Structure 1
Amino acid sequence: MINEWWIDDGLGPEAQAAFASLEHCFQSTGDVVSASGISEVQRLQLDGKTYYLKLYFEAGARLNKYLGKSKVRREWENLLAFKRWGLSVAKIVVRGEQSTKWLQRRGVLITEGVDDSVDLAELARQSSPLLKQPDWLFCVIEQVAQAARVMHQHRFAHNDLKWRNILVSGTEDSPVVTLIDCPSGRYWSWPFWEYRRMKDLACLDTIAKHALTKDQRVRFMRRYWQLSDGEPLSKLQQRKLKRIASFFSGKK
């Protein structure tokens, strides 16, 4: 049997009581933000703060529920790794899991909401004027490119690096990018690594190709490759740009 529970002792009294144990969390009746076959995300307001409570009813899907780390553990370990690497992530305030002799594993991950934030996918859906402001956009491009580069320098592929999993807060003059949700990310080696890296970049480009100009998308990749202004793309980099743009062509 595996039992692990950690709670931030800096939480306010309402949060401390609501998140006192795994059972308390599974009895929560917060606003459901999303749900799948194995998990559910609720939003709660406690002690004047917003929290996102992610409940995992199983360790994973299909055979994954019996093999290796649970999905909730993988997610919190990934977010903690991002933090160690200097990336901005949603603050974890509670994490834990429980398993029985029947190999049933439940888990909880709770993060503190990022004040005055919105995900990039929502900005694109709204056709936000921020996406037309060069200074704001280039600052966001720089931060997202850096986040992707740092992950990939560690041979880590996010596997769901989509605009909906990237929050932007701060001011128009100084936006701040924060990463959320990464239960499927993992470390890769040859011969799978390059495919996984290209998939991450292609995921980012899925909405970018509709919301940004071609020059802005190229600018992102130039920052990812840390090219100086005026430095030409190599033939290999040009081929990679084409591969990223067509990565999901014909795929559902």
Structure 2
Amino acid sequence: MIDWHFNPDFRGREAERLFGTLPATFAVRGEPIAKAPLSTVERVAADGTRYYVKRYVGSGKNAFRRWFGLRGLIAPQRVVKEWENLLLFRQWGIPTATLVGWGLERAHGSFVRGALVTEEIAGTKDMGTMANDDDPRLRDRRWMAEVMRQVARYARRLHDQGFAHNDLKWRNLLVDDRATPTVYLIDCPSGGFWRGLLLRYRIVKDLACLDKVGKYRLSRTQRLRFYLDYAGHARLSAADKRRLRKILKFFAGRE
């Protein structure tokens, strides 16, 4: 059984021929971008723009990791979480990539293959690459203040919903090239909802992931400003200080 969705905003365009069905999406070929044991990413040019095609196949090459064949029956598929989370971001007013096509195929209830297609966000660069390339914009305090304000706002919006990104790293933040930049959250296959102690742990992890690069690219003042923007406080409370200690220790000995 195939369950495939196509964004009606792209009807009548070349994208419909390329990505209008799951078989068509698996047949199209583009520029290889990334490859992993369970997925591939290719970039395809059409309609005067570019699209990213992420395909998932099988349940893993290792029998133990496949849970002896049960994973395809009972586990949430990463491809499903990925498109569900992008849709949630839009619902919460967080800029992200536009979904063009998404869905999966099952046989006898077990996962066979799945894919999602997103439209390229033109003129953007991920912040991880910017850090590696020593992009001069990172030294522009006004530009960085606007970017980090947005990151703080989006992180708080996720967490207020009881949701944690679980991989909130600079490489998953796109920034466009406008004078007043816009930040986009992308690539969230492992994000989800949590409660209580588990949510608090995941919140610390999200903020620690951001600080892994932030501690090298931001001043102490900028890092403090980011946290205060996130917390919505004018100054640190005792609870803020406890959380900050956890954030700073989170990856200790693991880098």
Quickly say closer, same or farther: Cα 1:243–1:191, change in 2 above 3 A.
closer
Which deviates the most, 131-140 or 22-31? 22-31
Contact 1:39 1:58 in 2 (8 A): no
- Indicate the RMSD between aligned Cα atoms, in angstroms: 1.6
- For 2:200 and 2:251, the matched residues in 1 are separated by 15
SS in 2 for 1:108: strand
Determine if the alignment matches structure 1 residue 185 to structure 2 residue 191: yes
Question: What is the aligned length?
Answer: 247
* 1:45-95: CA deviation from partner (whole Å, max 9, x where unpaired): 101011110101136763443324321111111111111111111101111
Mapped partners of 2:215, 2:235: distance in 1: 22
Give 1:84's aligned amino acid.
Q
Q: For the Cα contact (< 8 Å) 2:44–2:50, is it kept in 1?
A: yes
Any conservation in 2 of the 1:90–1:112 contact (CA below 8 Å)?
Answer: yes
Partner of 1:195, secondary structure, is: helix
Residue 235 of structure 1, CA deviation = 2.1
Residue 248 (1) aligns with residue 251 (2):
yes
The equivalent of 1:54 in structure 2 is 54
The 5 A counterparts of 1:143-162 are 143-162=150-169
Alignment of 1:132-171 (within 5 A): 132-171=139-178
- SS of 2:37's partner is coil
Q: CA deviation at 1:102?
A: 6.6
Kindly provide the amino acid, as one letter, of the partner of residue 141 in structure 1.
M
**Aligned partner of 2:120 among 107, 113, 119:** 113
Q: Is contact 1:59–1:107 with CA below 8 Å preserved after alignment?
A: no
The DSSP-based 3-state class of the residue aligned with 1:192 is: helix
Q: Identity over aligned residues, as a percent?
A: 39
3-state DSSP of counterpart to 1:160:
coil
Matched, 1:207 2:206: no
Q: TM-score, normalised by structure 2?
A: 0.92
Q: Mark the runs of 5 or more structure 1 residues left unpaired by the alignment.
A: none
CA distance in 2, matches of 1:224, 1:102: 42
Structure 2 gap segments, 5+ residues each? none
Contact preservation (8 Å) 2:73, 2:109:
no
Deviation digits for residues 94-150 of structure 1 (CA, Å, limit 9, x no counterpart): 111111017233111111111100000011111111111111111000100011000
Aligned to 1:23: 23
Note if contact 1:58-1:107 (Cα within 8 Å) is conserved in structure 2: no
Contact map agreement 1:56 1:108 (CA 8 A) in 2: yes
1:236 corresponds in structure 2 to: 239
Instruction: Indicate the SS of the match to 1:62.
Output: coil
Contact in 2 for aligned 1:199/1:244 (Cα 8 Å): yes
Q: Verify the 8 A CA contact 2:59 2:66 in the aligned structure 1.
A: no
1:78 is matched with 85
Q: Give the Å deviation of 1:170.
A: 4.1
Q: CA deviation at 1:192?
A: 1.2
User: Do the aligned residues in 2 keep the contact of 1:72 with 1:107 (CA within 8 Å)?
Assistant: yes
Instruction: Please say if residues 59 and 71 of structure 1, whose CA atoms lie closer than 8 Å, have aligned partners that are also in contact.
Output: no
Equivalent residue number for residue 125 of structure 1: 132
Residues 20 and 101 of structure 2 are in contact (CA less than 8 Å); yes or no, is this contact kept in structure 1?
A: no
Q: What is the CA distance between 1:20 and its match in structure 2? A: 2.6
**Conserved? CA contact 1:149–1:224, under 8 Å:** yes
Q: Structure 1 residues 59 and 139, CA, compared in 2 at 3 Å: closer, same or farther?
A: farther
